[in-house]
Structure 1
């Protein structure tokens, strides 16, 4: 059982009374429903009729978020929302609302915050939510821009951290990147990165290591946290994603890895952009670029400029978008394959730039330019970059619809559904929704009606 009882109280007469009002609700059926809701929230519980009896007769209170799930189960029976106070658990302990959001100045404090977050993240209630607060990034971004690298990374603790430990974490990060690209953030392998942080990274961060080993340890841990944030973002867990990104940025600073900090901040900007805050995303990418331009590899800086271009496009500024895109292309031309660049940026080549440029000009409602850029983008094999191919098909299909080419657009839309039905990515589904919106002028056409019914059935995307 995942949750344990925290304390004993007098009998919970409020809960007993509420259950009595639920026609036909036995303690066994209520426990079964609570287990179902917990499973949907990613929690492993095995409550029984005895558990419910203990909550009622002995006033025992289960760990959060079970009180909320119990109120939901009772509310389902009554056909109305039920609050915690009604079931006698108004003061049930809730998770720390700020866990994972801190960006501590002191390195030791920063490690304590990060390890506390990673040690409990899979039990946190915010994993079930999709909230996003752009203000949560304000302090972390400011503090990283002021000081992007700590002075030392050495630490004395339990157990010596060595090269084999670092290799294990790097391999885990590489594996997670591959599976995320192929199957989306909802794949079991991509999600295992949170387990790696909890089970492997946390003990190592509390161990003994030199400054050199410590910097590598913090950097690879930052990349793991960035990946955990990206996979959470991909499946719509935006609150959890923000917290992972913040801790990734702090670990990059602890490792003195300015170019990784630039990349993490760029990823944060992308989340900010896709949550509807284009102006803030522009500020974040420009800040990342200026802070890292003397230390980061050209390919890293090129990617930051690419995301800035995407943000300008969403903001409707064609001139600024084109300028940032040109800057990205110039920097990418300075990069050399096989050079001393981090592995996490090896995905960014001209084909990726062209694919994103297609989206930029789609957002600017310039289908001619969008399709011209798409012609320059190398086709990606669906078996390797499944999600990316599906999203790109939806983007290009939307550009064709903007150009009033229904037949070609609809063909690509159906191909996108073929591919995206095999991945778990709420982010990818957003592109299908955008495509469906572009179909509005043809809503009554039989082939469009058929397509919209298909997306509803196979992807769960409303027409």
Structure 2
């Protein structure tokens, strides 16, 4: 993997910060405000993948006008205001190439249509009859129609109807590489598509699990590293490209991890770590070590999990994120639990709670949007389960399931599966079967080998209790499940 070649170029006109939008956020962190945006979207039947980075881009003025889905959500959140009141430019001033001034970035909104996935069942004829103007409004970030057409293509995961963009400029770069042509240098369009790809993968994983996504995410990752080899036109773009490629490697590694492909996951995480160290990116390094610790715990290498978590904490300390330090302390606690070191585990859990209690901050990484009280409880439940303290594990798992935002379907299924297993091993078979049935209800939407493996273990524990009607119902339904490929 070659380093980026950076050449000088004429500077682009810097975006004007959106101070009006920043005032509306108030004292909430970007992650907290993004969660409020997602809640507001659900209230009106919209589906947007808003996160802390999106909020930051709006406030920095990089998004001059949101797409229509975000517009509806923002106007619902702030009734009586117009887009101009929210600090955005009129849509007419950012639509189309003709609206650009000299040196002005054309980036206007989000490149992906953020609707409920059921909308993707439209027929091809219906899609082809949509007006060009309407289509351009939905995908108004990129500089030419060919790239936008690539962004609009969707793929389907097996067992769940899920739309995902095929990464626009990254797809074009992959086509060039496959044809033996040199990949063009990355610009802001390619880097933006890469960053959005990472967000989309995380969103789809939260809702549907990893099994149907992993193989489809490998090609974009190859393309991202082809772009690194080709270099970037500006140093700032090169830095974003390194970070984006590393984050994509971690996301693909997680898909492999959650699908039970531990060797593949280890390779992807190591690739992300190497990318982080080549570019001196402490945040990416902490993220890579964090996931390596999680993988080592799941793969039965608890001492490696402890060492990786401690390495992650050393990298993360200068970043100033207490929430990140909390999560990394939980990763360390999981390793100590695997070593049957109750004292070490409890000490790490106390640190995790202490860091978490300090609250969110502006320095919290974007990828940590999943980490809230529910995840804290869920990871603590796993520690007590590993130590064999089933009642304590069940208490935390129940709290995790109760606290989880239903939007994160995979995590809800995961915590419920953890609860079912803890209850079963703690001698409460009927309650365990009830929790297991709730997991089965979610498996139409979620594809995760890890959850299937947990349920299989629970069924073995419950087999001696088959005479219970609830247990019998659970075992019969579980036995009728199609076996994961």
Q: Of the two, which has the highest radius of gyration?
A: 1
> Unmatched 5+ residue regions in structure 2?
1-172
Equivalent runs, 1:423-442 vs 2, <5 Å: 423-439=446-462, 441-442=464-465
Give 1:376 deviation, angstroms: 4.2
Structure 2 distance, partners of 1:409, 1:452, is 11
Name which of 364, 372, 380 aligns with 1:341: 364
2:376 alignment partner in structure 1? 353
1:176 and 2:201 are equivalent in the alignment = yes
Evaluate the alpha carbon distance shift between residue 323 and residue 410 of structure 1 in structure 2; reply closer, same or farther with a 3 A threshold.
same
Evaluate the alpha carbon distance shift between residue 345 and residue 279 of structure 1 in structure 2; reply closer, same or farther with a 3 A threshold.
same
Equivalent runs, 1:286-305 vs 2, <5 Å: 286-295=310-319, 297-305=321-329
Evaluate the alpha carbon distance shift between residue 459 and residue 412 of structure 1 in structure 2; reply closer, same or farther with a 3 A threshold.
farther
Give 1:274 deviation, angstroms: 0.7
1:262 and 2:263 are equivalent in the alignment = no
Evaluate the alpha carbon distance shift between residue 368 and residue 200 of structure 1 in structure 2; reply closer, same or farther with a 3 A threshold.
closer
Equivalent runs, 1:35-434 vs 2, <5 Å: 159-188=184-213, 191-295=215-319, 297-337=321-361, 339-374=362-397, 376-377=399-400, 378-382=402-406, 384-434=407-457
Q: Structure 1, residues 31-58: CA drift from partner, whole Å, max 9, x if none?
A: xxxxxxxxxxxxxxxxxxxxxxxxxxxx
Check conservation: 2:421, 2:432, Cα contact below 8 A. Answer: yes
Structure 2 distance, partners of 1:371, 1:243, is 34
Check conservation: 1:386, 1:423, Cα contact below 8 A. Answer: yes
Question: Which SS does the other structure have where 1:373 is aligned?
Answer: helix
Structure 2 distance, partners of 1:415, 1:459, is 17
Give 1:227 deviation, angstroms: 0.7
Give 1:317 deviation, angstroms: 2.1
Give 1:327 deviation, angstroms: 0.8
Check conservation: 2:398, 2:419, Cα contact below 8 A. Answer: no
TM-score scaled by length of structure 1: 0.60
TM-score scaled by length of structure 2: 0.58
Structure 1 distance, partners of 2:454, 2:320, is 31
CA RMSD of aligned residues (A): 2.9
Question: Which SS does the other structure have where 2:245 is aligned?
Answer: helix
Question: Which SS does the other structure have where 1:216 is aligned?
Answer: helix
Structure 2 distance, partners of 1:335, 1:407, is 38
Structure 2 distance, partners of 1:408, 1:445, is 11
Give 1:254 deviation, angstroms: 2.3
